[in-house]
Amino acid sequence: MSMLVVEIHDATDLMPKDGHGSASPFVEVNFNGQRHRTQTKHKDLNPQWNEKLLFNIDGDLPNKTIDVVVYNDRSNSDDNHTRKNFLGRVRISGVSVPMSESDAQIQRCPLDKKDLFSPQPPPMSSKPPGFEMRRDFAQATPPGPATAVMRMQMPPRQNPEFALVETRPPVAARLRYRGDKTSSTYDLVEQMHYLYVSVVKARDLPVMDITGSVDPYVEVKLGNYKGVTKHLEKNQNPIWKQIFAFSKERLQSNLLEVTVKDKDFAKDDFVGRVHFDLLEVPLRVPPDSPLAPQWYRLEDKHGMKTKGEVMLAVWMGTQADESFPEAWHSDAHNISHVNLTNTRSKVYFSPKLYYLRIHVIEAQDLLASDKGRALSNTHVKVQLGNQLRVTRPTQVRMGGPVWKEELMFVVSEPFEDFIMVTVEDRVGPGKDEILGRVILPVREATQRMETSKFPDPRWFNLHKPSVAAEEETEKKKEKFSSKILMMLCLEAGYHVLDESTHFSSDLQPSSKHLRKANIGILELGILSARNLLPMKSKEGRTTDAYCVAKYGNKWVRTRTLLDTLSPRWNEQYTWEVYDPCTVITIGVFDNAHTNGSKEGARDQRIGKVRIRLSTLETDRIYTHYYPLLVLQPNGLKKHGELQLALRFTCMAWVNMVTQYGKPLLPKMHYVNPIPVKHIDMLRHQAQQIVAMRLARAEPPLRLENVEYMLDVDYHMWSLRRSKANFQRIMSVLSGLSAVCRWLDDICYWKNPITTCLVHVLFLMLICYPELILPTIFLYLFVIGIWNYRFRPRHPPHMDARLSQAEFAHPDELDEEFDSFPTSKPADIVRMRYDRLRSVAGRVQTVVGDLASQLERAQAILSWRDPRATAIFIIFSLIWAVFIYVTPFQVVALLVGLFWLRHPRFRSKMPSVPVNFFKRLPSKSDMLL
C-alpha cells in the first residue's frame, strides 16, 4: 500500500501560552482519518522535532488535504477543561506532494490563526511531480513569525506508458466528409486503395510440351511484387478464378504485366503476356456492380499477337470491395497457395447453444449377471460427447431404485450427438457392473419454451452392452426388459453462458422467438498497431499480426500482415446491439501458421482490449490507442498499442431506456434458476463446444484464440486478482469513510460555516418533515449534474494498477501461472494445493461480485454510463417534485404497504430498481 511521509523539522517564534512567557508545543497531523502527533517540547518557543509521521494512502491523494496543527500541551496545567491550546495551522493540498524522497524539499509554511469567520487558507498551487516544498508556520500576531518545517514523499504513480492515448486519424466520420458511397460505409477507417486483378480463365493456349500438352499458370507482376496462380496440369483451357490485390501505397511501377507460363521441371516456358497502363485502369466504387472481365489476346516477348487468350478484369478499388477478403494481397507475397487462407480476413458465427435437461427418475426390473447377487448401490451415468454426469448411488428397494435427480448438459445445433444412458451397480471397490444401457439421439428431446410445462417422462428399455446379450434381449423382448424412467427436454428459454458474466457480450435466450428487437448498431474500425514486439525474432523476422473481435455470436478476424511491427489493417465491422450493458473484446495475435501448420504451433497472444458499450456516448466517435498488456510469469509486459475507432448508434431510444429496468438474463434464469454448482461446469462445456466448432472453419479460429477471447482461466485462483478485488472494495468503502469523516467534521465544528448551514437545514427538515425525501432526491439530482463536468472522456481500458499487475510479486505470478492441477511432485501437496486454489478461486469470485455491486452504486452519479445517470437524475427530479406535491403521510403509507405486501403479490422476477442497479457498469471489465 502507498505511504505518505510527513517529516516535522522545527518551528520558530511561537506564541507564549502558559502565562509565563513560554509554551510546550507539539504538532498534530491529520490525513484521511488518520491522526499522529510529535513529542512535546516543554517550554520551548523554537522547538526542533525532526520526526517522521507515516500515513496510509487509501484512494486518490490529489483530492485529499493534509491538516497540520501546532498545539500547546497543557497536560500539566490546572485547567482540566482544556488540555491543549491552539497555536496555528496550515492545510496542504495532496496535489503538491512530490513522488519520491529525493525530489522533496524543505519548505516553511506560515501558520494561520484560528478564527470563527476567517476564511480557510487556500491550498498550495499544483506543482509538477518532484518539486520540493518548504513553508512557514506562523501565527499572524506578535511577537513575530514562527516557523515549522516538513517534507513529504509518496511512491511513484501508475506508469503513464499503460495509459490510453486519444488520436485523430483522418477518417471520413471524423472529418465529416461526404464523398463517394464508400466513405459512408467505411467511415471509421482510413480509406486504402488497391489495384485488383481478377484472373478468370484462358482458352486456346498453345502446346508447349513434347507430349502435346501445357501446364499453365499466370504470373501477375507489378514492380517488385509478384503473384502467381496455381498451375493446372495438361489443360489448354484452364479456369483459375483468382483475384490479386496490390496496395496503392506500395506501387513501384505504372505498368502491370500479366504473363501466362507453362510449368516445367527445369525452367518454366513463356506462353504469352498482357500489359496494362495503371493510368488507364478504371476506379470502381461499391455498391456499383463488379467490373465485367474481358478476353485479352496474348502477346509474345516482342509485342506481337500470338495464339491464346486470357480473361481478366483490372480495376482500382478500396477495402470496401467485396473481392477484398478473398484476394491475394501483396502484403502476403511470400505465402504459398496452401497457406494463403491462414492470412485472410473472415467472419465467424458461434453455434447456437442449448441446455439439455435430463431428469433421471427411477428404474425397474434390474437384474445382475449373477442372479444370486442382490443389487446394493446403483447409479446412472449419462454421457453426451465428452460430457459425463453421474447420479448419486441409491439402494434398490421394492420396485427398483429411485434417483429423482436432474442432470444438465450443453448441446449445439444441428443436434447430431447421441445420449448414452448406462445403469451400473457397485460390485466392489472401483468395480462396477453394467445392468443396462440405452442410446438416444439428442434431436428426440422435446424443446421447451419459457412458459411451457416440462414434457412428460418416458420409459426407455435398457439393453445389455454385449452383442450376445443384445441378441438374447431381442429374443425375450416381448417377455421381459429392464426399464428406466426419464424426462428429456431442450431448454430454449435460457441463455447458455460461454463468457464470464462480468464482461458478457450476449444475453439473448437460445430461442430466436423469445429474442427482442435490436436497439442499435456497434461499429468497430480496426485501424492499426504500433510498437509491437518482435514475436519471431528467433526466425529472423518480426511479427505476423492479426486481430480477432468478438461480440455476441459474431466473431471477426482481420487479415494477417506479415513481418511488420506497425501493421495497418483499416478494416471495419458492424454488429447489431440488443443490450447496451455488454462488452466487446478485441484480441491481437501473432500468426504461427503462415508457412504451414507446424506440430504444436500456437498463435501467440499479443494483447487484448475490452470495452463496455454502456460507457460509450451515443453517436460519438472514439479513436484511441489502447495499450496491449499481457501478464506473464516474469511480470507485466506491454506488447504495443492498438488503434481502434468505435461508434455506438442507437436506433430505438425508448427500447434502450426500458432495457435498464429489465433483467440482464432471460426470464428462465430467475423463474427456474440453474444451481450455482453447475454454472462453471456448463460454461466450460459451452466454451469447448464453441472452440471445437470454430476450429473447423477455414481458416480456423484456433483453440488458443477462443480461450484467450473467452477468458477460460478467469475464474482460477490468483492471489493477484484477490488482492485487486480487495483493493476495489476498499476503494469504494473509502467513500463511505469520507462521508463519516465529513459528518465527524461537522460535529466537531472543523468548518464552522458548513456546520451552521447543516444546523439550519436540520431545523428546517424537523419543522417540515415533508421536505426530507424531496430534499434527498433533489440533492442527488444536483450531485449528478455537478459530476457531469467530471464524467469520463475516454472509454475504459485495461488498468494495470487496478489489476495489481504492475508490481506483482514474482512468487505470486509463479503461483498464478502454475498448472492446474499443480506440477508439484508430492501427492499430498498437490491435493491440498489444488483444493486451496479451488476454494480460494470461489472466494475470489465472491469478492469480485461484491466489489462490482459497490462499484455500480458508485457509478450511479458518475456518468460512466451516461444514459443510466441521465435516467436516474431525471427520475430523482420527478420524485422530488412528486413527493413535494404529495402529502408525506400518503407517500410513507404507500411505500410501507408495498414493502410489507403479501408474498402472493410478489413476483420471482427482480424489480425494476434491482434490474437498473445490475445494469450499471462496474470496473470488472477493466481487469486484466
Is residue 602 predicted with pLDDT exceeding 70? yes
What are the angstrom distances between the C-alpha of 690 and each of 353, 446, 572? 9, 23, 24
Q: Is the pLDDT of residue 642 over 90?
A: yes
What band does 122 get if pLDDT is binned at 50, 70 and 90? very low
* Per-residue confidence band for 333, with pLDDT thresholds at 50, 70 and 90: low
- Give the per-residue pLDDT at 810: 79
Longest dimension (CA), the chain: 127
**671 near 450, Cβ under 8 Å?**
yes
Q: Residue 117 pairs with which residues in a beta bridge?
A: none
pLDDT-based confidence at 76, cuts 50/70/90? low
Q: Is there a common fold for 193-349 and 353-465+480-491?
A: yes
Q: Which residues of 775-801 are buried (b: 16+ CB within 10 A; e: fewer)?
A: bebbebbeebeeeeeeeeeebbbbbbe
Contact 522/551 with Cβ under 8 angstroms? yes
How far, in Å, CA of 235 to CA of 271, rounded?
Answer: 13
pLDDT of residue 494: 93
Sheet of 84-93, strands arranged across: 34-37, 25-31, 65-73, 84-93
> Quick one: pLDDT at residue 121?
37
Residue with the larger pLDDT of the pair 604 and 211: 604
pLDDT at position 126? 33
Residues 208-251 pLDDT 10s:
877 778 889 999 998 888 888 888 888 889 999 999 998 888 77
DSSP 163: S
Angle between helices 912-919 and 866-885 (to 10 degrees): 150
Strand partners, 438: 421
Confidence band for 839, pLDDT divided at 50, 70 and 90: low
- When pLDDT is averaged across residues 352-376 and rounded to a whole number, the result is 86
What value does the mean pLDDT take over residues 304-321?
90
How do beta strands 328-329 and 239-247 pair?
A: parallel
Q: For residue 241, give the 3-state DSSP assignment.
A: strand
* CA 244, 248, 253, 255 torsion-angle sign: positive
Cα gap 191→198, rounded to integer Å: 21
pLDDT band at residue 717, thresholds of 50, 70 and 90? confident
Domain locations along the chain: 3-103, 193-349, 353-465+480-491, 512-710, 719-926
Q: How many CB atoms lie within 10 A of CB 100?
A: 12
What is 512-710's CATH number, 1.25.40.850, 2.60.40.150, 3.30.470.20, 3.40.640.10? 2.60.40.150
Contact, 349 vs 554, CB < 8 A? yes
| 910 Rama sector, left if φ>0, alpha if ψ -120 to 50, beta otherwise | beta
Q: How far apart are CA 551 and CA 754, in angstroms?
A: 50
Q: What's CA 245's distance to the chain center, in Å? A: 35
Res 20: pLDDT: 78
Pairing of strands 520-530, 568-577: antiparallel
Alpha-carbon distances, residue 407 vs 364, 382, 618, 682, 687 (angstroms)? 20, 8, 43, 11, 19
Nearest of 458, 446, 464 to residue 485 by alpha carbon:
458
Return mean pLDDT, the chain.
83
Checking if the pLDDT of 403 tops 80, the result is yes
The top-level CATH class assigned to 3-103 is mainly beta
DSSP strand E in 154-301: where?
165-166, 193-203, 216-222, 225-228, 239-247, 255-262, 269-277, 294-299
pLDDT at residue 764, rounded to an integer? 84
Q: How confident is the model at residue 145 (pLDDT cuts 50, 70, 90)?
A: very low
Long-range contacts of the stretch 209-215 (C-beta < 8 A, 24+): 209/262, 209/264, 214/262, 214/271, 215/262, 215/263, 215/264
Report how far apart, in Å, the C-alpha atoms of 744 and of each of 60, 748, 772 are.
21, 6, 21
- 814-834 pLDDT, tens per residue? 777 877 777 777 776 776 677
Q: How many CA atoms lie within 13 A of 760 on its CB side?
A: 6
Residue bearing the bigger pLDDT, 542 or 117: 542
Q: Virtual CA dihedral for 335, 337, 342, 347, nearest 10 degrees?
A: 130
Please give the DSSP secondary-structure letter assigned to residue 731.
H
301-336 b/e (C-beta count within 10 Å ≥ 16 → b): eeeeeeebbbbbbbbbbbbbbebbbebbbbbbeebe
Task: Using DSSP, state whether 879 is helix, strand or coil.
Answer: helix
DSSP one-letter string for 633-669: TTEEEEEEEEEEEEEEEES-HHHHHHHTTS-SS-THH
Q: Which three cell numbers, joined as nine digits, stand for 41?
A: 517540547
CATH number assigned to the domain covering 193-349: 2.60.40.150
Q: How many residues does the chain have?
A: 928
**pLDDT tens for each residue of 270-292:** 899 999 999 889 988 877 788 89
Q: Can you spell out the DSSP letters for 753-802?
A: HHHHHHHHHHHHHHH-GGGHHHHHHHHHHHHHHHHGGG--SS-----TTT
pLDDT of amino acid 295? 93
Among residues 281, 283, 217, 291, the alpha carbon closest in space to that of 255 is found at: 281
- pLDDT tens for each residue of 40-71: 998 888 898 888 888 888 777 777 888 899 98
Query: Which residues lie across from 591 on neighbouring strands?
Result: none
Task: Look up residue 618 and give its DSSP letter.
Answer: T
Say yes or no to pLDDT of 152 above 50.
no
Q: Which amino acid is at 102?
A: S
C-alpha cell at 804: 495489481
Angle at 606 between CA 605 and CA 610, to 5 degrees: 95
CATH topology of domain 353-465+480-491: Immunoglobulin-like (2.60.40)
User: Which has the closest alpha carbon to 198: 278, 337, 338, 316?
Assistant: 316
CB 162 within 8 A of CB 179: no
- How far apart are alpha carbons 589 and 423 in whole angstroms? 47
3-class DSSP string for 461-500: EEECCCHHHHHHHHHCCCCCCEEEEEEEEEECCCCCCCCC
Query: Tens of pLDDT along 887-914?
Result: 877 887 787 777 767 777 778 788 888 8
Selection from 326, 414, 335 nearest residue 693 by Cα: 414
Burial of 603 (0-12, 13-18, 19+ CB in 10 A): buried
In the block, cell 526466425 appears at 539
For 740, the 3-state DSSP assignment is: helix
